[in-house]
Chains A and B, each alone.
Chain A
Amino acid sequence: MAKKSWFLPAILGIVAIALPPFLGGYFQHILILVMMWVAMATGWNLLGGYCGQASLGSAAFFGLGAYGAGMLYLHWGISPWWGVIAGPLLAIVVAIPIGLVTFRLRGGYFVLSMLAVCETIRIIFLNWVEMSAGPLGIVIERTWGMEKLPYYYMVLAIAALSLYVVYRLMKSKFGYYFVSIREDQDAAEGLGIPSTKYKMYALIPCAGIIGLAGAFYMNYMAFIEPNTVFPLIISATMILSVMLGGPGTFWGPALGATIFVLLSELLRAFAGPVIGTIHYLIFALILVLVIMFLPNGIAGEGDKIKRLFRGKKPVYVGGE
C-alpha cells in the first residue's frame, strides 16, 4: 500500500550514505540517534499504526534487545555485536507469549496491559541480579572507541532494513490483513482473517526491529541498566514519533522520528543549561498538542493539505 516511487528514497539514501563523513562527531551522533529512532518508530508503526494495536510497552523490546546483547558479554564474554542476532531473538521469544495473552484484550485494556508487561520486565531485570547484573547495569568496551562513523553505517543499515521489511510486508497479504484488523476486527474475522494470528505476525517483526535497535544501543552507548532501557519515556517517544509523522503511513514514522530527535537535541542544547529537564516537558506538551490537533500526523493530514494546494476537490461522493 506504500506508494511506488523510487526517486525520494534514492536521493535520501545517497545523502544518508555520502554526507556523514564530512560532518563533525556531534552531528554524526545526532544522525545515529535519528536512524535509531527511525528504525524504532517504523517498527512500532507496523503493530500500532498499521495493525491498530497501539502498545505502551514497546520499550520492553528495546530493553530486551539491549540486554540480549549485553548479557552475551556479561556471562560469556562474547562480543556484543552478536547481539544483533541475540537481541532481536530474545525480544521475539519474549514477545510471543506476551502477545498470546495481551491480544485477548481490546482497546485501552491492551494499551495498558502492554505497559504492565514492560514494567514487570523492568522490575525483573532490576531484581534478578544473577541474570542481568541488576541496577549496576552492564558496561562494555566500545569496539571503535570514540569514532562515530562505523556506528552510523551500522545503524543506517538497521534503519534501512526495518523500512524494507515493513515495505515488503505492507505490499503483501500481511499488509492488507493488518489494516483490515485495524479498521474493523469483527469484519476482518468475518472475512476469514484469523485476527490474533495476524496480530502476532505484526508483533514479531515489530519486536525484532525494536530489539535490533536495542542491541545497537548497547554497542553504541556501552552502558545499559534497567531504568535507562525500559522506561515509559522510550515507549512514549516511539508513539510521539509515529503520531507526529503519521500513523499507518510508510514514511510518516521516519519523518516524525527525525523531527523528534532534531528538536529534542536543539532543546537540550539551548534550554537544557537553563532548566535541566525542560526538554522533556516540551516533548510531553508537543505530544499533547499533536494528539489533540494533528491526530493523523503530518503525513496523514498531508494528503488533505496536498489536495488543497492542487486545488482539486476531494473525490468523496456520499460520506457517512
Chain B
Amino acid sequence: MAYLDINHVVRKFGGLVAVNDITVGLEQGEIFGLIGPNGSGKTTLFNTINNYYPANSGEIIFKGIPITRMSTHEICRLGIGRTFQVVKPLKRMTVLENVMAGAFLRTNSATKARDKALEIVDFCELMQRKDMPAKSLPIADKKRMEIARSLAGDPELILLDETAAGLNLKEIDAAMVIVKKIRDKGITCFVVEHVMKFLMGISDRVMCINFGAEIARGTPKEMSRHPEVIKAYLGEEYVKGK
C-alpha cells in the first residue's frame, strides 16, 4: 500500500465528470507531478483529497487511514497541507500572522507559533515582507506565503496547486528551489502544474490527465515524448510557444 492511495475516485458536477475514476499511489518522499490541460480536473482532484468537494465514489487513504469522509480541517491535522490555485490570503492579516495561523495547528502558545512562523517565513525567503498585509503582496509572494502558511502546520504531504502560474521566469526558478527544499525536509509533494518547465525540472514521476481521466504516467522525460500527452496538451502549447 502506498503512502497516499487514491482509488477509483470520481467527482461530478451535475452532468460533468470532473474527476473520472482516477487511481494513483504516491510514495513517501517523492515529488509527484500532475499535468493536464485547463479544466481537466486537476484542482478538483485536490479538492476531493482534502474534501472541499466530497468524492462521489472511490476511496482515498493516507498513511493507511481512510480520509474520504473526514472533514477538511481533520485531514489537514492528519498531515496534508495545501495551497490554492486561486490564492486565498487572509487579506487583512500580515504575512507573519498568516503563517502563524497555520502554525497554531501544532501548538496553543502564541510565542511558539510566532517562533515557528518566523522560521518558516525565513525558510520561504519572505523575511522582508513579514509585516505587510497579505492583500498588498505581489502575486508571487502571495503564492509563496500560501506555501509558508501550509508548511507551518508541519504537513507530511503537501498539495501544491499551480505554484508557478502567473510567475515570471526568475520567480519560477525561485519557486522550484523552494519545492526542492521542501522535499529535502522529507515532505512528500503532490504538484499540479501547467508550466511544463517547472514539473520537468523537479518531479520524480508525472501523471497526465485529460477530461478527468488518466491518459499517461511515467518519468518527466517519458511524458514529454508521450504521443497522447503531446496530443492532449503539449501539442498546442508547443505550437503556441514557437
Direct A/B contact, Cβ within 8 angstroms? yes
On whether A190 and B92 interact (CB within 8 A), knowing A173-B104, A176-B100, A318-B136, the answer reads no
In the complex formed, the residue of B with least CB distance to A173 is B104
In the complex formed, the residue of B with least CB distance to A189 is B72
Q: Which of A173, A180, A186 contacts B52 (CB 8 A)?
A: A186
Q: Is B136 within 8 A of A191, CB to CB? A: no
A183 to chain B, nearest CB (A): 4
15 A-B pairs (CB sep. < 8 Å): A1-B97, A172-B110, A176-B100, A177-B104, A179-B90, A179-B93, A180-B90, A184-B88, A188-B90, A188-B101, A190-B72, A190-B81, A190-B88, A316-B133, A319-B136
In the complex, whether A8 has a CB less than 8 A from a CB of chain B is no
On whether A317 and B105 interact (CB within 8 A), knowing A176-B97, A189-B73, A194-B73, the answer reads no
Mark contacts of B118-149 with chain A using CB atoms, 8 A cut-off: 1 yes-contact digit, 0 otherwise: 00000000000000110111110100000001
- CB-CB under 8 A from B149, the residues of chain A are 191
In the complex formed, the residue of A with least CB distance to B51 is A189
In angstroms, Cα B105 to Cα A193, docked, is 7
On whether A316 and B76 interact (CB within 8 A), knowing A183-B90, A183-B93, A192-B105, the answer reads no
A198 to chain B, nearest CB (A): 10
In angstroms, Cα B139 to Cα A77, docked, is 65
- CB-CB under 8 A from A318, the residues of chain B are 136-139, 141
In the complex, whether B168 has a CB less than 8 A from a CB of chain A is no
Q: Which of B84, B88, B108, B150 contacts A173 (CB 8 A)?
A: B108
Q: Which of B72, B101, B137, B141 contacts A177 (CB 8 A)?
A: B101
A54 to chain B, nearest CB (A): 16
Q: Is B132 within 8 A of A316, CB to CB? A: yes
Q: How many A-B residue pairs have CB under 8 A?
A: 98
In the complex, whether A130 has a CB less than 8 A from a CB of chain B is no
In the complex, whether B91 has a CB less than 8 A from a CB of chain A is yes
Q: Is A171 within 8 A of B110, CB to CB? A: yes
- CB-CB under 8 A from A195, the residues of chain B are 73
Mark contacts of A152-175 with chain B using CB atoms, 8 A cut-off: 1 yes-contact digit, 0 otherwise: 000000000000000000011100
In angstroms, Cα B93 to Cα A46, docked, is 16
- Residues of B at under 8 Å CB distance from A? 50, 52, 71-74, 76-77, 81-82, 84, 88-93, 97, 100-102, 104-105, 108-110, 113, 132-133, 135-139, 141, 149-150, 153
- CB-CB under 8 A from A187, the residues of chain B are 84, 88-90
Chain A 188-224 residues near chain B, CB threshold 8 A: 188-195
In the complex, whether A315 has a CB less than 8 A from a CB of chain B is yes
Q: Is B73 within 8 A of A317, CB to CB? A: no
In angstroms, Cα B135 to Cα A194, docked, is 23
B48 to chain A, nearest CB (A): 14
Q: Which of B82, B110, B135 contacts A190 (CB 8 A)?
A: B82
In angstroms, Cα B103 to Cα A177, docked, is 11
Q: Which of B52, B91, B102 contacts A183 (CB 8 A)?
A: B91
B38 to chain A, nearest CB (A): 21
- CB-CB under 8 A from B74, the residues of chain A are 194
Mark contacts of A215-252 with chain B using CB atoms, 8 A cut-off: 1 yes-contact digit, 0 otherwise: 00000000000000000000000000000000010000
In angstroms, Cα B106 to Cα A192, docked, is 10
In angstroms, Cα B104 to Cα A194, docked, is 12
Chain A 284-320 residues near chain B, CB threshold 8 A: 315-320
- CB-CB under 8 A from B90, the residues of chain A are 179-180, 183-184, 187-188
- CB-CB under 8 A from B92, the residues of chain A are 179, 183, 248
- CB-CB under 8 A from A171, the residues of chain B are 110
- CB-CB under 8 A from A177, the residues of chain B are 101, 104
In angstroms, Cα B135 to Cα A193, docked, is 20
- CB-CB under 8 A from B73, the residues of chain A are 189-195
In the complex formed, the residue of B with least CB distance to A194 is B73
Q: Is B104 within 8 A of A317, CB to CB? A: no
- CB-CB under 8 A from B138, the residues of chain A are 317-318
In the complex formed, the residue of B with least CB distance to A180 is B101
Interface centre among A195, A319, A320 (most CB of B within 10 A): A320
